[in-house]
Amino acid sequence: MCMFHGTTSPNPFLLQFVFVRFIDRGQGMRKIVTLLAAGVLSAGVLLAAKSHAPKIAAERIRQHVKYLASDALEGRGTGQKGGDAAADYIAAQFKRYGLRPAGENGTYFQNVPLVGVKTLPETSFALVPSSGEPLVLRNLDDFVTSNESQTEIANIDAPIVFVGYGIAAPEEKWDDYKGYDLKGKVALLFVNEPISDDPNFFKGKALTYNGRWTYKYEETARRGAVATLIIHRTDLASYGWEVVRNSWGGERSYLKLDGTPKLEAASWIQEEVARKLVGMAGLDLDKLFQQAQSREFNPIELPVRLKAHLASALRPFSSRNVLGMVAGSEYNYNRAGEAVLYTAHYDHFGIDRAKPAGANIYHGAVDNGTGCAILLEIARAWGATEPMPPRSALLAAVTAEEQGLLGSEYLGKHSLELPVDPILDLNYDALAPIGIPEEVEVSGAERTTYYPAVENIAGEFGLTIRPDAHPEAGHYYRSDHFSLSRVGIPSFSIGQGRKFKDHDLAWGEAQAKDYVDNHYHKSADAFREDWNFAGLAKMASFGYALGQAAAQGGDIRWLHDDEFEEAWYRAHSGGLDTDALFAGHPEFKPVHFEGIRYPLLARQTGIGGTVVARVSVGGDGKISEVKIEKGHPLLVGAIEDVVKKWIFVTGAERTFELTCDFVVADEPLTTRRRYSFVVEPFHLRVVVELPLAQPSSTSSKSH
């Protein structure tokens, strides 16, 4: 169903693998799977005869990267002319490849309301001790800052408090705040998180979200801080000060304010500045770092104040996510609204007209011209796929990743407005076109139930799955798949490992280091004619195959106890407000909750009605009985099968009466999940539309 290693013949083994997974899901019979496994060749030939497998072409990927990284697009800056031109180009390709518009008002675009904030030269920072001379800092050299609160002027005169890593993580029994009130104060903290080799403590060497700079700003703002100073260390951040300076030196974009607490001065300071700062209080930075490794750490209010004047130029504007879709064969049927999602960000840092010509365009060829080009080639492949699998394919080129994953954050927060519900996100970000990889990195896939399929398909491509080469860098939390994970969608990025054909591992490591040291977030990340795009074609084919299998398989979810599992359950209960469902009854506080879906046969036959059930809960919080008191036979199973999985807090035995209305809508619905809601306590409603007759038509597409 996809191209393997640049050939034009589908691989029978993978075709059989996909077919077996589908039958296994639908029948649940080991015997059937075993019999099918004995006929690998025949099944592969059968599916091959039914499928048109479009070839993934390295040359097309090359041409996309070359154009996206050209001077004409001026670095694809968010809110800049080049960024808008890139969005238009991507939409034009989606249309050319036969994708349906999946954006707003029948277009390929989802508008993302943003505010550009540019810190002006008159901004000043001074560290003022209780006695002695103040230390005046130099913008960009000593510190960078941005006003997240989106005001033109902010004046700060507040005490500085060292809060270690600034982490509050109950699951790790870790609290750097110990009840300290940060309201109106300045937080000083280290990036990253406590040193650990124990996988059961902050995931060992792997960085969790608690260590990311975005978390630091979010957490300190929630606690009322007016400013936060993150201490930069290259080893802790995994990138040097020049990356920080380039990322923060120009205009930064933020989603339009929505009531979420924000900082007046979200800042980084150089390590040497931090040494001088704590030295004013008679403290040693290295010793403070050691103290910060302990659960017993307590905040330290320094006898130093930050006196800052922030002057900012504000520019409200809209950028655009670009969305295209290929409808699955069962669109509007039993898998109506479900899709495999592919993402890649198309933005970079644009053009800095204050710098001399020839060095002022941040081309972003690798980051992320490559990922975006792969997305386009996968879009072309899906547009040419016949027949389509049951689930749809949704492709999203997102904006403002370099500004803090803003486009994907907006996409995730507004996922209920999409024409389909993503069940998996496969993301591409910064793949170097330096040869044919023999390894693949899919960090995060192992946290999902889809990982066995990933392992099998990687094997078919001759790819060894390489663990994250630098888990301490927290790459999982630094790309757009993370935004989708936060709203419950199983998500991960597809990237090369370090071993390439005809090269040893050391060569691959050296190439990666050279990119980070000399090209990452620099104007030197420019297109090269001698690049080899065969490896990127292989990565595109791999992603296409993963999507094909997912589009035919069963449910995909996070593994039990994963940090995103709760968000998955919220999403699949329609974001159902369980507080409202059990309002006034704390004894029914849910520990585990799954949403109720409209039964397939009842939906197909247009049957609606109300089901009433008497639910008994044992002392252990588990459901001991679900007794149906009223309801159509085709509807009651949806209640029995799901409610028995609910778990509540432990306590005395108790019962409640649950009412669920199943309603067939008069008008077409956008998605299924948005039509599950609470009417009143212990009363919910599930609404769907009747399936439409599937049109039979042929199309001629230009590919």
pLDDT in tens, 263-287: 999 999 999 999 999 999 999 999 9
pLDDT over threshold 90, residue 598 = no
Give Cα 370 to chain centroid, integer Å: 18
Mean pLDDT across 253-261:
88
Give Cα 573 to chain centroid, integer Å: 20
Write down the pLDDT at residue 579.
77
CA-nearest of 150, 362, 156, 112 to 250 is 362
| CA distance between the termini of the chain | 17
Render 623-672 in DSSP notation, one character per residue.
EEEEEEEE--HHHHHHHHHHHTT-EE-S-S-EEEEEEEEEEEESS--S-S
- Distance, in Å, from the CA atom of 218 to the CA atom of 228, rounded to the nearest integer, reads 10
Lowest average pLDDT, out of 118-122, 421-425, 680-684, goes to 680-684
Query: Most confidently modeled of 196-210, 468-482, 503-517?
Result: 503-517
Say which residue the tokens 């304010």 belong to.
Answer: 257
- Distance, in Å, from the CA atom of 490 to the CA atom of 422, rounded to the nearest integer, reads 9
Lowest average pLDDT, out of 316-320, 331-335, 459-463, 669-673, goes to 669-673
Q: Compute the half-sphere exposure of residue 305: CA atoms within 13 Å on the CB side of its CA.
A: 13
Write down the pLDDT at residue 255.
94
Q: Identify whether the C-beta of residue 121 lies closer than 8 Å to the C-beta of residue 145.
A: no
Reading the block at residue 498, the tokens are 């370090």
- Whole-model pTM: value is 0.74
Q: Compute the half-sphere exposure of residue 270: CA atoms within 13 Å on the CB side of its CA.
A: 13
Mean pLDDT across 171-185:
95
Reading the block at residue 599, the tokens are 């039964």
Query: Most confidently modeled of 24-28, 440-444, 465-469?
Result: 440-444
3-state secondary structure of 195: coil
Write down the pLDDT at residue 162.
98
353 pLDDT band, cuts 50/70/90, is: confident
pLDDT over threshold 50, residue 39 = no
pLDDT over threshold 60, residue 388 = yes
Write down the pLDDT at residue 693.
45
CA-nearest of 148, 169, 209, 110 to 485 is 209
Q: Which residues of the chain are in CATH 3.50.30.30 domains?
A: 118-315
Q: Give how far Cα 395 sits from Cα of 230, 300, 550, 601, 605, Å.
A: 36, 48, 15, 30, 32
**What is Dmax (Cα atoms) for the chain?**
84
170 pLDDT band, cuts 50/70/90, is: confident
3-state secondary structure of 581: helix
Write down the pLDDT at residue 575.
62
Cis peptide before 387, with omega less than 30 degrees from 0? yes
pLDDT over threshold 60, residue 22 = no
118-315 has CATH 3.40.50.1970 classification: no
Write down the pLDDT at residue 8.
29
Q: Which residue has the higher pLDDT, 476 or 12?
A: 476
Q: Identify whether the C-beta of residue 12 lies closer than 8 Å to the C-beta of residue 44.
A: yes
- Distance, in Å, from the CA atom of 278 to the CA atom of 188, rounded to the nearest integer, reads 10
Lowest average pLDDT, out of 257-261, 323-327, 492-496, goes to 257-261
**What's the pLDDT tens digit per position in 46-82?**
233 334 458 999 999 999 999 999 999 999 999 899 9
Q: Give how far Cα 238 sits from Cα of 4, 80, 516, Å.
A: 35, 29, 9
Residues 6+ apart with CB under 8 A from 53: 1, 2, 3, 8, 10, 385
Write down the pLDDT at residue 571.
74
611 pLDDT band, cuts 50/70/90, is: very high
- Amino acid at the residue 287: K
Write down the pLDDT at residue 468.
82
Write down the pLDDT at residue 689.
67
With residue 40 as reference, give the H or E element that holds it.
Answer: helix 40-50
Reading the block at residue 472, the tokens are 């301490």
CA-nearest of 115, 131, 274 to 189 is 274
3-state secondary structure of 475: helix
Say which residue the tokens 């899901």 belong to.
Answer: 25
Percent of residues in the chain assigned helix, strand, coil, to nearest 5: 35, 25, 40
Reading the block at residue 553, the tokens are 């398989």
- Amino acid at the residue 213: W
Per the prediction, the chain carries an average pLDDT of 87
Write down the pLDDT at residue 700.
34
Lowest average pLDDT, out of 5-9, 344-348, 349-353, 439-443, goes to 5-9
Write down the pLDDT at residue 33.
30
Render 279-292 in DSSP notation, one character per residue.
HTTT--HHHHHHHT
Write down the pLDDT at residue 573.
61
Query: Most confidently modeled of 323-332, 413-422, 433-442?
Result: 433-442
Query: Most confidently modeled of 105-119, 324-338, 592-606?
Result: 105-119
pLDDT over threshold 80, residue 43 = no
Reading the block at residue 270, the tokens are 């150089």
Question: What is the 3 state secondary structure string of 386-418?
Answer: ECCCCCEEEEEEECCCCCCCHHHHHHHHCHHHC
**What's the pLDDT tens digit per position in 537-594?**
999 999 999 999 999 988 899 998 888 887 887 776 656 778 778 988 889 988 888 8
% of the chain exceeding 90 in pLDDT: 69
For 485, other C-beta atoms within 10 Å of its C-beta total: 27
Phi-psi region of 669 (alpha: psi -120 to 50; beta: other; left: phi over 0): beta
573-689 has CATH 3.30.2420.10 classification: yes
With residue 535 as reference, give the H or E element that holds it.
Answer: helix 534-552
Q: Identify whether the C-beta of residue 538 lies closer than 8 Å to the C-beta of residue 7.
A: no
pLDDT over threshold 60, residue 260 = yes
**What's the pLDDT tens digit per position in 632-677?**
999 999 899 999 999 998 899 999 999 999 998 765 554 444 567 7
Superfamily for domain range 63-113+320-552: Zn peptidases (3.40.630.10)
Q: Which residues of the chain are in CATH 3.40.630.10 domains?
A: 63-113+320-552
pLDDT over threshold 90, residue 357 = no
Write down the pLDDT at residue 669.
53
Write down the pLDDT at residue 574.
58
Q: Which residues of the chain are in CATH 3.30.2420.10 domains?
A: 573-689
With residue 548 as reference, give the H or E element that holds it.
Answer: helix 534-552
Q: Which residue has the higher pLDDT, 248 or 297?
A: 297
439 pLDDT band, cuts 50/70/90, is: very high
Sign of the CA dihedral 578, 582, 587, 592? negative
Lowest average pLDDT, out of 15-29, 126-140, 171-185, 554-568, goes to 15-29
Render 551-574 in DSSP notation, one character per residue.
HHS----BPTT-TTHHHHHHHHTT
Reading the block at residue 122, the tokens are 């008159």
